[in-house]
Structure 1
Amino acid sequence: MKLFIIYQTDIWKSKASRVCFGVFDTRTKVIDSAKWQELYNHNSEVVVLEVTLNLFEEV
Structure 2
Amino acid sequence: MAAALNATLSSSYQQMHQMYMMVSTFEAVIGCCSILTDADLQEVGPLSDGRQATRK
Q: State the TM-score bracket (shorter-chain normalisation).
A: under 0.3
| Structure exhibiting the larger radius of gyration computed from Cα positions | 2
TM-score by length of 2: 0.24
The structure where strand makes up a greater share of residues is: 1
TM-score by length of 1: 0.23
